[in-house]
Amino acid sequence: MFRFLESLVDPAAPHDRDAPPPDRLRPFVAAYLRPARTAILLTLATVILVGAGEVLLIWYAGRLVDLLASGAPAEVWARHGGEFALAAALLLVAKPLVQTLGAALINQSLMPNVEALARSRAHAHVLRQSVGWFQNDFAGRIANRLMQTAPAVTEVMFQVLDALAYAVVYLGGAIWLLAGTDPRLALPLVVWTGLYLALIGRMIPRLEAASRDFSDARSTLNGRMVDAYANIQTVKLFAHGRAEEAYAEEAIAASRAAHFRQAREMTLLDMGLSLLNGLLIVAVVGYAAWLWGLGAASVGTVAAATALTLRLTSMTYWIMFVLSGLFREIGVIREGMRTIAQPIDLPDAPGAAELRVSGGGIVFSAVSHHYGRGAGGLDRLTLTIAPGEKVGLVGRSGAGKSTLVNLALRFFDPEGGTVAIDGQDLRSVTQDSLRRRIGMVTQDPSLLHRSVRENILYGRPEAGEAEMIAAARRAEAHDFVTALRDAEGGAGYDAVVGERGVKLSGGQRQRIALARVILKDAPILILDEATSALDSEVEAAIQDTLYGVMEGKTVIAIAHRLSTIARMDRIVVLDQGRIAEEGTHAELLARRGLYAMFWNRQSGGFINLEAAE
């Protein structure tokens, strides 16, 4: 039975992956609940049955009082024994079955599946955002919002189904039951319901605003803490532990103040409910007793009316607690929507084709990109890289080297001009197909918090073990990898490298990143200071490997260590976003321009940027 219930909702149900999640609350929640419609309707049916059963149980308690008072015990049992047995059977069998089915639908069908569905879809959408989008936020805050939003959606669903729907059914049944005795008996309950809804309607916007402020304050606090933890080495190096405490305390104080505001609204709601509930008990029970005094109501009716109102008034406090949690979760969802519901900022064009690489020629045509600042980056740069050509990029910091590479990878779209590979504008092809055909090693390579094997195979997951080890050998990584051990007992290629490869040295990380790119074997290769973290001996051993890897590929290599690019077919010198010089190493030295200045002022093969300016 469990497997059947667990299969009622499919977390992998097909949906439009290109459509961003709705940016309004109700459609946002509804989008995640739509695949669970059947389970939700079945759960709602059980809630209605349980609520109606509770009202009937109280009605029958009143009837039981009247029946027991109608004669001698033997006569009562003789006349109504069968009825009592049936009531007992329903109470012992039917009620538990319905309640168990409702609990199973919520616990087995809805909660795990809807949470998994919400996280899966949100994660898939966020992953499609551009690199620039991620650079504008904390990775920890993005992950935190995504992780918190999914259970918040399921909690809202649970509270609406299990609490609010039950309360509505119970209230409707109570009005029906009282009206069945005397329509006037239901009048106080109807008036109370109107006042209760008016109170809730007045308090909801205030509670929602207070919850939203509290959620914002909590998010700010979380961001500050994550920022400190993510940069703990910098915090320690500058001995700024106390400063970070003060920075967090400011946010903690704001969060506390927002929490106070939310709590005040809840206290005011509690006070209003207490007054209304007292009025309800006095009105309904007093009126029922008055009818009994007139002979218009039985003792059982008075007992049932009393039980109904006491149960209803105690339920209002439960509903208040539910509403408090509901608005808190709604605040979490709204906060998550700010991240999850954002449209893809750098989408593929409609009908974008796969990139076809025949030679790997790259053309930058009058390209300008200033990151929206109007300065920096590239300024009307035109550069043609022939298929199979090896081009080195040189320039001061901020000259535009990284911008040129980012545009080639389409991490950003140029603000002016075009970038094309083999005649195909990068905006007309899919981003995945573009990046599958480019291999890149960065100055500070980032490794996944996984094993060495998984990190290398990231370049080509379908590669075999022998191919993976061969790539590691070419990157001079095999020997140190076989000696690795981690705290969990993993060894060699099974050793886990830690978050971003923190358990490895810079040179070890760079060699694993090189092995990953070697295994990928893409037709276009980008090297951004690919050997900067290596010692001279290892760099010398890898240089020949790198030139071997470059054979038959189009290569763009950024370097401050000019000796690493001296053998390139062409060297392009960038300055203030434009091409200042280009030519071979020998030609540029003979020209005695910027490149020659960089070369002459090197210390150990590095550009002395300060002296060159």
Residue 54 lies in a domain: yes
Judge whether residue 31 has pLDDT over 80.
yes
Residue 14 lies in a domain: no
Output the pLDDT for position 217.
87
Residue 276 lies in a domain: no
- Per-residue confidence band for 72, with pLDDT thresholds at 50, 70 and 90: confident
Candidate ranges 111-115, 215-219, 373-377; pick with highest mean pLDDT:
111-115
3-state SS class at 553:
coil
Same domain? For 329 and 372 the reply is no
Same domain? For 109 and 50 the reply is yes
* Buried/exposed 125-153: b ≥16 CB within 10 Å, e otherwise: bbebbbeebeeeebeebbebbbebbbbbb
How many angstroms from the chain centroid is the CA of residue 530? Answer: 32
| Mean pLDDT, range 78-91, rounded to an integer | 87
Same domain? For 397 and 310 the reply is no
The token pair that represents 80 in the structure block: 């109504």
Judge whether residue 533 has pLDDT over 60.
no
- Between 183 and 405, name the one with better pLDDT: 405
Output the pLDDT for position 167.
83
Judge whether residue 264 has pLDDT over 80.
yes
Same domain? For 365 and 385 the reply is yes
What does the mean pLDDT of the chain come to?
A: 86
The token pair that represents 471 in the structure block: 């790539």
Same domain? For 454 and 330 the reply is no
Residue 396 lies in a domain: yes
Residue 215 lies in a domain: no
Residue 472, domain CATH? 3.40.50.300
Report the distance separating Cα 534 and Cα 514, nearest Å.
12
Same domain? For 116 and 194 the reply is yes
Output the pLDDT for position 609.
45
Number of domains in the chain: 3
Measured CA angle at 578 (ends 577, 580), to 5 deg: 130
Same domain? For 507 and 532 the reply is no
Report the distance separating Cα 394 and Cα 573, nearest Å.
5
Report the distance separating Cα 581 and Cα 579, nearest Å.
6
Output the pLDDT for position 536.
67
- Per-residue confidence band for 605, with pLDDT thresholds at 50, 70 and 90: very low
Percent pLDDT > 90 in the chain is 33
Output the pLDDT for position 364.
97
The token pair that represents 61 in the structure block: 């308690």
What is the DSSP secondary-structure string of 14-27? ---TTSPPPSSHHH
- Per-residue confidence band for 532, with pLDDT thresholds at 50, 70 and 90: low
Judge whether residue 297 has pLDDT over 80.
no
Output the pLDDT for position 432.
93
| Mean pLDDT, range 123-136, rounded to an integer | 86
Report the distance separating Cα 567 and Cα 545, nearest Å.
14
pLDDT digits (tens, 9 = 90+) for 361-380: 999 999 999 987 877 789 99
Residue with structure tokens 């038959």? 552
Same domain? For 42 and 120 the reply is yes
Same domain? For 506 and 529 the reply is no
Residue 145, domain CATH? 1.20.1560.10
pLDDT digits (tens, 9 = 90+) for 155-193: 899 888 888 888 888 888 888 878 877 787 788 888 888
Output the pLDDT for position 549.
83
How many angstroms from the chain centroid is the CA of residue 497? Answer: 24
How many angstroms from the chain centroid is the CA of residue 204? Answer: 27
Output the pLDDT for position 604.
43
Least confident of 105-109, 111-115, 131-135, 511-515: 131-135
| Mean pLDDT, range 532-541, rounded to an integer | 64
| Mean pLDDT, range 346-366, rounded to an integer | 93
Q: Look up the pTM and report it.
A: 0.73
pLDDT digits (tens, 9 = 90+) for 480-517: 999 988 878 889 999 988 766 677 887 888 889 889 99
Report the distance separating Cα 334 and Cα 23, nearest Å.
9
Judge whether residue 603 has pLDDT over 60.
no
Residue 1 lies in a domain: no
Same domain? For 291 and 197 the reply is yes
Output the pLDDT for position 74.
85
Output the pLDDT for position 476.
86
Residue 514 lies in a domain: yes
Output the pLDDT for position 613.
40
The token pair that represents 96 in the structure block: 């538990």
Residue 221 lies in a domain: no
Output the pLDDT for position 570.
95
Same domain? For 326 and 392 the reply is no
- Per-residue confidence band for 466, with pLDDT thresholds at 50, 70 and 90: very high
| Mean pLDDT, range 252-273, rounded to an integer | 87
Report the distance separating Cα 346 and Cα 360, nearest Å.
23
Nearest to 360 by CA among 393, 391, 402, 382: 391
Output the pLDDT for position 453.
94
For residue 466, give its domain range. 446-521
- In sign, the C-alpha dihedral spanning 219, 225, 229, 230 is positive
Output the pLDDT for position 610.
44
Report the distance separating Cα 393 and Cα 371, nearest Å.
20
Candidate ranges 23-32, 50-59, 185-194; pick with highest mean pLDDT:
23-32
Q: Which residues pair with 561 in a beta bridge?
A: 606
Nearest to 471 by CA among 451, 448, 463: 463
Q: Which helix (H) or strand (E) holds 291?
A: helix 241-293
Same domain? For 197 and 304 the reply is yes
Residue 442 phi/psi, 5-degree rounding, is: -100, 170
The token pair that represents 542 in the structure block: 């890898």
* φ/ψ bin of 576: left (φ > 0), alpha (ψ from -120 to 50), beta (otherwise): left
